[in-house]
Amino acid sequence: MRYPSQRSNPGLKLCRFAIIYMEEVAEMTHLSEMMLRNNPSRSQGGKPSSLIAYFVLAYAITWATLGLVALASQGLLPFPLPSGLRSLLMLIGSSGPLLAALLIVATTADKGGMRAFFRPWLTWRVGLRWYLVVLFEPALAILLAMAGAFLLNGTTFNLAHPAVVRQLDLPLGINPWLLIIPVFIVGGLIGGPLGEEPGWRGFALARLQNRFGPLTASLLLGLLWSMWHLPFFFIKGTSQSSTPFLLFVLGTVANSVLIAWVYNHTRGSVLLALLFHAALNMTALYLPISLWNDWRGVTIQCLVALSIVIISGPTRFARQASAEQTPPGSELSKESARTGRLSPHNS
């Protein structure tokens, strides 16, 4: 990689370095688009080229931008990173899955394909029980973990001073529980899941399921989702920076299985996936055990995911496919998508 001359002034060096990084991201984007355009017969729906291009783009956008933040966090850049630029890079990097999906759909799908991509974002008529599942399963899992810790070791927990107090630097006298709804909307929903779920679940999951079936697809996506987070482990102040990587992988894979289970029973609702992801993040802010990086919470979540798989059965992990879950141009014809017939892997 080229670096600007050390004799340049700091502002000029910063601009040159940022331009080089953006050029590399643009080059990766161009290569992915060329993969699709040079292979049109394999660039639709669940075909391999669209999935490969999607993951290449998602990783390239995130690792290039957050890689710069990680280098700055570790003191490996020849110049300081301004806070404004750092925030912008964090925003872009955290939205890599969404941006990659938008680029792939915009370059390969027609108007009908674009509508099919955005429609599940607003699929909300899914039954009250699924809202209860996505909003309260994380909290119930943590309460189980807390009860187990108390029964086994006599561990007690303080719910009066949750982690959100430190992260938001709330003044004394403000009850953090009164802010749970705005924190859920701004921090839990918009702050992370919105940049990920339309890509992971809205684009990749249905295509992976068409090729591998629902259970294998959710496990594979969980691994890819975990690896995508690697730059966060080198950025000081993130929750991942103090988390053992293997523990994070286990928690992420378990959560991937549960989100896929909800997705497949809510007609491919990206909205419900967003809410589930946000609820998972909120528990880490308001409850003393996390389902991402605390071995007690991860253990419970793995047991919940395993129970769901055993009860449902790996071949009946999903309900019937619907038009919302059918990627544009996939193996299902328009007629089968409209009538709700199944692909070979859905049951």
- Considering 16-20, 294-298, 322-326, the range whose residues carry the highest mean pLDDT is 294-298
Residue-wise pLDDT tens digits, 114-138: 999 999 999 999 999 999 999 999 9
Q: What pLDDT is stored for residue 186 in this prediction?
A: 83
Q: What percentage of the chain has pLDDT greater than the value 90?
A: 61
Q: Taking residues 5-32, what's their average pLDDT?
A: 48
User: CA geometry: angle at 215 spanning 209 and 220, to 5°?
Assistant: 75
How crowded is the C-beta side of 66, counted as CA atoms within 13 Å?
23
Q: Taking residues 197-207, what's their average pLDDT?
A: 96
Q: Among residues 161, 143, 159, which one has the least CA distance to residue 151?
A: 143
Residue 263 has pLDDT above 60, yes or no: yes
More confident residue, 95 or 172: 95
Helices (H), the chain: 10-37, 48-73, 83-94, 96-108, 111-118, 128-153, 163-168, 180-183, 193-199, 206-212, 214-228, 245-265, 270-286, 295-312, 334-339
* Average model confidence (pLDDT) across the chain: 82
- Cα–Cα distance between 96 and 65 in angstroms, integer? 9
Residue 335: which pLDDT band, with cuts at 50, 70 and 90? very low
DSSP letter (8 states) at residue 39: -
